[in-house]
Chain A
Amino acid sequence: GEDVEQSLFLSVREGDSSVINCTYTDSSSTYLYWYKQEPGAGLQLLTYIFSNMDMKQDQRLTVLLNKKDKHLSLRIADTQTGDSAIYFCAERNTGTASKLTFGTGTRLQVTL
């Protein structure tokens, strides 16, 4: 079955870049997503990338996809304290239609 893994914790200083990594096992993944969850809130979609792309940039966010290694990363430039949250990667494959498989989440802590 599908498996998505992430490191648990990342601490960065305000103004630095953050890189959150994710690995997945399902080679038929069609879309890969990054969600942000703030305390007491639901998940907010940040960005997504289609499996035939290797990079997508959206303002301070850059997503890199290495399909060969099944590795996905999210880079946040000029990290701010408001970026402190849990970040989930998720994948969807052609066999499970709308089902998203989420990773365990990476808690990003931004320090002053």
Chain B
Amino acid sequence: EAGVVQSPRYKIIEKKQPVAFWCNPISGHNTLYWYRQNLGQGPELLIRYENEEAVDDSQLPKDRFSAERLKGVDSTLKIQPAELGDSAVYLCASSLRRDWNNEQFFGPGTRLTVL
């Protein structure tokens, strides 16, 4: 079974430029998560989708960050414009259902460097 796929794996951009990350969850997983992991820290949730609906985006900086999951499968996370402090690893995860014991499967992440 294929795991969570993310692309690109690495991205280097100059500040004020836009950037987008893509995630393909495990087939059949209706819950999708985007996390940001700063250097030396644990992941922090940015947004959670149940199918195509964003049900928790309280930690998403909405002035510059946006996300979509139009058909309830793939998802994109966009930053426009990027700032130096956005340098981090952006992780996507998916789970089969939103249950107390659901296991979240993580992708390898996209490492963003903003110069």
Contact = CB atoms under 8 A, between A and B. Distances in A.
29 contacts: A30-B100, A31-B100, A42-B91, A42-B106, A42-B108, A42-B109, A45-B103, A45-B104, A45-B105, A88-B42, A88-B43, A92-B100, A97-B56, A98-B31, A98-B33, A98-B56, A98-B95, A98-B102, A98-B104, A99-B45, A99-B56, A100-B43, A100-B104, A102-B42, A102-B43, A103-B42, A104-B40, A105-B41, A105-B42
Interface of A: 4, 30-31, 35, 40-45, 48, 50, 88, 90, 92, 97-100, 102-105
Nearest to B10: A40
Interface residues of B, number: 25
Interface in B33-47: 33, 40-45
- Classify the secondary structure of A's interface with B: strand
Contacts of B33: 98
A41 B108 contact: yes
Given A30-B100, A40-B108, A45-B103, A99 B48 contact: yes
Nearest to A44: B106
B109 A98 contact: no
Interface of B: 4, 31, 33, 40-45, 48, 56, 91, 93, 95, 98, 100-109
Contacts of B103: 45, 48
